[in-house]
Amino acid sequence: MNPERFVFDDAKCVVISLLLTGVSMFAQPAVVTTNIVTAAPAFRIVNGQLYNTDLSTNFATLEGQCIAVLTNGVIVQQFQIRQTMAYPTNAAELAVALANRPVQLVKEEVIPGKKFFIRNFPNEPLAVVGSPIVARAMRDGVFTYESEIIELWDYGTPNRAVVVTTNSVSTNALKSGAIKP
């Protein structure tokens, strides 16, 4: 054996070290990470189409009271409040009314209005029977509830994007002439 064969200078050691590091880097298994990113709440998908619910004229603001919670949405009913007032009928009552208060509430009635179904209503915060509901939704047909045909509105589903990242290094070589001097 020739002893000069195993003599390395500093430059050769650096090159060998870089080569071994590169080989070990490529020998590591690739790690793939998948994250799901949810867009702003105003961006929702209805019937496969993405909408900005704040700007789209297809969406309306619905208000009412939750009367039933189903697996895929809520049944909402609108209510009107009818107030019956007592007005002064003579000058003496008018003088008293002006001194205290002009009208007196005699009776207040709650009158049920129309019902509608909001599909895909979010679970957070959880809707309960009797709670007020305010939502932007898009009209999407009709729904049968307890043998009654009511309007169907779709709240939409969140717009979610899948982001995949990896630690692997591309091994594509540069084409000759790709870097110009």
Residue pLDDT, tens place only, 30-43: 777 888 888 889 99
Class of domain 29-83+110-166: mainly beta
pLDDT of residue 91: 76
Q: Where are the alpha helices (DSSP H) in the chain?
A: 10-27, 91-99
**pLDDT tens profile 119-128:** 999 987 788 9
**pLDDT at 6 > cutoff 90:** no
**pLDDT at 44 > cutoff 90:** yes
Tokens of 13: 């050691």
Confidence of residue 114 (pLDDT cuts 50, 70, 90): very high
Mean pLDDT along residues 89-110: 71
**pLDDT at 27 > cutoff 70:** no
121 near 131, Cβ under 8 Å?
no
pLDDT of residue 178: 55
Phi, psi torsion values for 128, nearest 5 degrees: -125, 155
User: What is the residue-averaged pLDDT of the chain?
Assistant: 80
Contacts of 53 (CB under 8 A, 6+ apart): 42, 43, 44, 59, 136, 138, 156
The model carries a pTM of 0.64
Mean pLDDT along residues 58-70: 95
Tokens of 122: 């979010």
pLDDT of residue 62: 96
